[in-house]
Every structure is written in C-alpha cells, then in structure tokens.
C-alpha cells in the first residue's frame, strides 16, 4: 500500500486562506486556524451584506423621493400612485437621482402625478 501525501493540496489551501486573511488584525492574519475561522465568517458576512445592500439602497432612494415630494406638497405614496396612473415607468433609483440633481424635471413629474 502506498502512502498518500496531502502536502501540495494542503499548501495550496493554506496559502489561499492566508492570502484572504491579509490585512486582518493580530493572529487572524498569522495563524492558520484563526485565519480560517475569520475568513469563513467574513465570507458569511459578505454574502449576507450583498443582499442587505440592495435593501439599504432602496430605503435611501425612497427617503430621497419622499423629501422631494414633500417639498412639492405631495406624499410619497400619492406620488407613486399618480405615476402609475399616468403610466410613467421610472424606477426609484432614477426618481431619487432626479429629486436630488434635477429639481425642474422632478417638479414636472410631480405635476404629472397630481393629475
């Protein structure tokens, strides 16, 4: 029976984990066991937060649209409802950008939504 050696695969795995742990504080970047735990947790956080980022941006866009609507004397929900009735199909990202950067265009949208 021949002896199985894992040296090449192990070195490759350790190298990959240690490379991912670069820049972390203390033993998390120097000791393999701590680095492995830290990288695994970091991967979990990054997966979770990629989903959360989408929710956070949508909330930010809604807050910006609401602020723009309130300055023109209409609520956010009435504005969105009015846009749907007027068959104006713009997503919240574009509406938020217009509310912040182009007040005249946003005012025209508000007028279209009020009708």
| Spatial distance between the Cα atoms of 86 and 109, rounded to a whole number of angstroms | 10
Q: Would you kindly state where each structural domain of the chain is located, as residue ranges? A: 9-114
CB atoms within 10 A of CB 38: 20
Average pLDDT, whole number, for the chain?
93
9-27-22 Cα angle (round to 5): 60
CA-wise closest residue to 68 among 88, 95, 90, 87: 95
The predicted-structure confidence for 65-105, as pLDDT tens digits, reads as follows: 999 999 999 999 999 999 999 999 999 999 999 999 999 99
**pLDDT given for residue 68 in this prediction:** 94
The predicted-structure confidence for 2-12, as pLDDT tens digits, reads as follows: 777 678 888 99
The DSSP element (H or E) to which 92 belongs, if any, is helix 92-101
Where does 9-114 sit in CATH, by number? 1.10.1900.20
Q: What is the pTM of this model?
A: 0.76
- % of the chain surpassing 70 pLDDT: 98
């Amino acid at each position: 029976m021949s002896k199985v050696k894992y040296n090449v695969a192990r070195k490759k795995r350790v190298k990959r984990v240690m490379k991912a742990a670069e820049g972390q504080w203390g033993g998390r970047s120097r000791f393999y066991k701590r680095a492995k735990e830290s990288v695994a947790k970091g991967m979990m956080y990054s997966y979770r937060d990629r989903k959360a980022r989408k929710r956070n941006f949508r909330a930010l866009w809604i807050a910006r649209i609401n602020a723009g609507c309130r300055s023109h004397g209409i609520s956010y929900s009435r504005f969105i409802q009015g846009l749907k009735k007027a068959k104006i199909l713009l997503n919240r990202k574009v509406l938020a950008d217009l509310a912040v950067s182009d007040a005249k265009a946003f005012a025209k949208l508000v007028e279209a939504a009020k009708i």
